Amino acid sequence: MLAALTPAALAQPSPEKVKMSENPLLQPFKTPHETVPFDLVKNEHYLPALKEAMVLGRKEIDAIAGSTTKPTFENTIVALERAGEMVSRVSSVMFNLNSAETSPDLQKIVREASPLLTEYGNDITLNEKLFARVKAVYDQRAKLKLDGEDRMLLEKTYKSFARNGANLSAADKEKFRAINKELSQLSLQFGENVLNETNEYVLEIRDEKDLAGLPEFAREAAKATAKQKGKEGWVFTLQAPSYVPFMQYADNRDLRKQLFLAYNSRGFHSDKNDNQQIISKLVQLRYDRAKLLGYKTHADFILEESMAGSPEKVKQFLSELVGYAKPVAEKQLLELTRYAKENGFKDEKLERWDYNYFSEKLKKEKYALDNEILKPYFKLENVLEGVFTVANKLYGITFKERKDIPTYNPEVKTFDVFDQDGKFLAVFYGDYFPRTGKRSGAWMNDIQGQRVVNGENVRPHVVNVCNFTRPTETKPSLLTFDEVTTLFHEFGHGLHGMLANSKYESLSGTSVYRDFVELPSQVMENWCYDPEALKLFAKHYQTGEVIPNDLIEKIRASQNFMAGISNLTQLRYGLVDMYWHGNQPNGEKVTDVESKVDSLVNLFPRVPGTAFSTAFSHIFAGGYSAGYYSYKWSEVLDADAFEFFKEKGLSNREVADKFRKNVLEKGGTEKPMELYKKFRGREPSPQAMLRRSGLTM
C-alpha cells in the first residue's frame, strides 16, 4: 500500500508493446477464486502494468490529500489503507516470481521496477498534505470512537509516515529518497549475486570411489543432476538437498572441504558476484537513514517496532543464551572430537567440514538413527497430507487439491482450504523442489492478502516455497527429517496467513512484529516429534508400514543431539546481525566483524577465504536486518506455548481454538505480548525453551 514514482515519470506512461486493455495483470482475474492467471502473465506485462497501476494509485492518493473535507478516520486512514491495491497486486506477483521462478530477463525487470516502487512509496509518505490529514486524525484519536483494530491501524499509519521521513526537512527528505532508492537496488543485487554463486558451482565426480560413504539416495540424486546438466558421472551442487547429504556422509575429506569452501565463500570472491562492498554500502546507508530519522543506529530504528524494544535488550538476550549454550556446546564438541579420533581422525581439531560428517556417524552410533533409515518413511506427499491432518485435528480445516488453478511452474500444487463449517478460507500453493530460477531456503508469501472490503471478507492466497529432495527415476521425493520440520515450519507461517481474519490487510496475517512472526511457524515443528502425529503420515513408501515405535523414540531421544552447537550457530548469526546493524559503521571488513563475534561463540578454527555474511540473505536481501535474533526469541514463545498444548493434550481443540483466535487470526491487530497473554494466560517463560533444547545443565 505505502509503496512511489516522481510526478513527471508518472504523468505519461511510456509507450509499451502491451496494450493496457490486454494486460492480464490489470484485468479481473477470471480464474478460480480470482487467482493469478500465471498461464497468461508474461515478463513483458510487468512494467506496463506497474506503471499504469501507479498512475491509478497516485490519483487515489491525490484525492485523499487534496480533499477539502475535514479529515476523518474513514476518509483518510481507511481510504489510504485501500489506495494502491492494483500496485500491490502487480508487485506481489512480480516479487513472488522473482524469488521462486526468476530468470535474467525478470531480474532485469525487477531492477528497473524496484526504484520506481521505492519512489512511489516515498512520494506517499513524504506528501506533506497527506501527512497533515493523517496527523489531524491521529491528534484526535482520544476523542474518536474506534475499536481496537481501528486504533491499531491509526497508530500504525501515523508511525509509518513518521518512520519514513514525514517529519524531515525538505533537504533531508531528498536525502531520504536517495538512500531508499539505493538500498532497494543494493538488496536486489545482493540476492542475485547469491543466487548466481549458488547456481554456477558444480562438483563433478567421475570416479565412483569418491562417492564412498554416500547413501544410495544421495548417489541417485547426484546421478540425476548430472543427467539434467548434460554431464557424466555424478554432480553435487550448493542446493541444500545436494550439499547437506554430501557433508554428512562423504568419506572423502578433501571433497567435503572443497564443497564447504564453495558454499561458505559465496559472494566473497572479489568478482562480479562479490557482496563485500554491497554489505559496506547497505550497512552505511541503513545507519545514515536511521540517523536522519533521529535514531542512534539502524537496530534502534528497527527494534522500536518489536517485542524486544531495543538493541540493548536483544544483545542481553543473546548474551544470556550464549551463557547457557556455550558450556553445553564445548562439552558436545569434546565428545565429538574424542569419537572422531577413536574412528581414525588424525588432526588435533575438527574443522567445519568434519562436523556434520562425524556428528552424523556419532548420532547413528548413539541412537541407531540417520536419514538413510528415516527417509523411506517421509514421502513428500504423505508428509503434506500429514500436516493437513494435524491442521484439521487442531483447527477443523480441510484441504482439497485442485488442478484448474494456474501456476507459475508445473511442479506447484494448489489446494482449496475450507473451515470446519465448509466455508472457503484460502488458496494454498505448495512449491517444493529446487530449480535454477529459485533462490535457496524456504519461505512463505501472500500472493493475495486477507482483508474486508465492503463487507466481503477477501480470503488470502498463500504460497509455501521450499527446496526439498527431488524424486529420482526410481524413488519419489523422500524427505530428511530436517526437511520434514521445514515443511511443518513453513506451513505454520501458512496457517498464519490462511486463518487471518482482520479488517485491514496491513494488520492481517503475518503483518506482525518480526520477533513474533516466527511463533506460528516454530510451534508447528513440535508436532514432528509427536508419536500420534508421526503415525498419521510417516509410512514406508514401499510397504505402507507405519513408522515403528522404536524409531519414533529414537527421533525424540535424538532431538537435542548437538543442540548446544546448533544453538551457538544460530546465536552466531544473530550476533553478527546485531554487530552490523547495532553499531556505527567504521569500514570494517567482513572477516573482521565475523572474527569478533567468533571469538565469543565459534568453537571451530576460522577458515581462511570464507565468510557467511556475504551470503546472509536474511539480513541483506530479506526483511530480517537487526531481526535475526527473532528466531531464538520466538523459540522462547513457541516452547512455552507448546507446553500449554502438552498440558491439555496435543489435539485439544480448546487450546487450539485459543491459539487460533488470539494468535493466528489476529495478525497485528493488537500488541504481540497482549495476544500471547490472552492465549497463555501469562507472559512466556524461557525455561521451557531451555529444557527442550537441553541447555539446562
Determine the longest span between alpha carbons in the chain, in angstroms: 82
| Residue in 490, 479, 469, 464 with CA at minimum distance from that of residue 539 | 479
52 labelled catalytic: no
Amino acid, res. 512:
V
d(CA 154, CA 141): 8
List phi, psi (to 5°) of 461.
-115, 115
The CA-based angle 461-463-467, given to 5 degrees, is: 175
- 223 CB-near residues (< 8 Å, 6+ apart): 233, 234, 472
d(CA 619, CA 566): 19
d(CA 597, CA 277): 20
User: Which three three-digit cell numbers place residue 362?
Assistant: 556419532
- 229 CB-near residues (< 8 Å, 6+ apart): 202, 235
d(CA 370, CA 364): 6
- 608 CB-near residues (< 8 Å, 6+ apart): none
Active-site choice (52, 197, 490, 518): 490
d(CA 672, CA 659): 13
d(CA 336, CA 356): 10
| Sign of the torsion formed by the C-alpha atoms of 656, 659, 661 and 664 | negative
**3-class secondary structure, 592:** helix
Q: The cell 503475518 sits on which residue?
A: 510
Give one DSSP letter per residue of 292-306, joined into a string: HTT-SSHHHHHHTTS
Give one DSSP letter per residue of 558-574, joined into a string: TTTTTHHHHHHHHHHHH
- Supply the DSSP symbol for 626: T
How much helix, strand and coil, in percent to the nearest 5, is found in the chain?
A: 60, 5, 35
What CA–CA distances, in Å, run from 174 to 125, 132, 164, 170, 396? Answer: 12, 19, 12, 7, 52
d(CA 206, CA 232): 7
User: Which three three-digit cell numbers place residue 113?
Assistant: 521496477
- 610 CB-near residues (< 8 Å, 6+ apart): 260, 261, 264, 265, 268
d(CA 660, CA 654): 10
Q: Annotated catalytic sites, by residue?
A: 490
